[in-house]
């Protein structure tokens, strides 16, 4: 595909989002041995590219819309209470979401979430794919990303993979300056 074709398929705002997150938070994911391309796809899909229409992102500054249940004692973050349909069943409930002050803080929360997710079988399945970013991306719903019902996991994974494929994120990697 010619560069002009690729540029016509995506907005510069979306590329700016990816590059800024890679530059600001890529090292955090890299240092935690988590795939930077999967992190980028997850953040873009979860925050709607940092859209002002994404109320959770706008209220928290966290690019991953991470909920903070009270029993997740390992997850340390400032919280904001918001309504969400976390089960994907059409019922809004009040929950605490993690807030982040910087792009890098958001990525740190993403790493902490994945590396400590309480369902050990799902966590290990996702982490086993950490050196295959596209596969890792597809498995993220199993560690709490997107609506938390098994029926929604496929659609959530597709959303992440659509971003991953459209923006050819396999080519994104954090490298030391």
Asked if the 11-53+102-170 domain carries CATH number 1.10.3470, the reply is: no
Tokens at residue 51, please? 């859209």
175, pLDDT greater than 70? no
The pLDDT of residue 52 is 86
Q: What share of the chain is helix, strand, coil (3-state, %, to 5)?
A: 55, 10, 35
Confidence of residue 12 (pLDDT cuts 50, 70, 90): confident
76-104 burial, b if ≥16 CB within 10 A, otherwise e?
ebebbebebebebeeeeeebbbbbbeebb
The pLDDT of residue 85 is 74
131, pLDDT greater than 60? yes
Contact by Cβ (8 Å): 10, 167: yes
Who's near 119: CB < 8 A, 6+ residues apart? Answer: 142, 143
The pLDDT of residue 177 is 61
Contact by Cβ (8 Å): 120, 142: no
Contact by Cβ (8 Å): 84, 93: yes
SS3 for 50-66 is CCCCCHHHHHHCCCCCC
- 95-119 pLDDT per residue, tens: 999 999 999 999 999 999 999 999 9
Domains of the chain: which residue ranges?
Answer: 11-53+102-170
- 134-158 pLDDT per residue, tens: 999 999 999 999 877 778 889 999 9
pLDDT: is 81 or 1 the higher one? 81
């Amino acid at each position: 595909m010619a560069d002009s074709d690729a540029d016509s398929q995506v907005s510069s705002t979306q590329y700016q989002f990816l590059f800024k997150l890679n530059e600001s938070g890529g090292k955090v994911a890299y240092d935690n041995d988590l795939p930077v391309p999967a992190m980028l796809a997850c953040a873009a899909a979860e925050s709607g590219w940092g859209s002002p229409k994404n109320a959770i992102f706008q209220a928290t500054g966290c690019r991953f819309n991470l909920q903070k249940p009270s029993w997740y004692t390992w997850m340390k973050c400032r919280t904001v209470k918001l309504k969400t349909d976390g089960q994907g069943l059409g019922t809004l409930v009040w929950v605490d979401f993690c807030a982040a002050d910087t792009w890098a803080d958001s990525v740190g929360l993403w790493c902490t979430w994945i590396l400590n997710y309480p369902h050990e079988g799902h966590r290990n399945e996702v982490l086993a794919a950490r050196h295959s970013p596209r596969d890792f991306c597809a498995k993220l719903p199993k560690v709490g990303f997107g609506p938390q019902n098994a029926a929604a996991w496929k659609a959530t994974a597709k959303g992440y993979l659509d971003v991953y494929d459209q923006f050819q994120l396999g080519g994104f990697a954090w490298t030391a300056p």
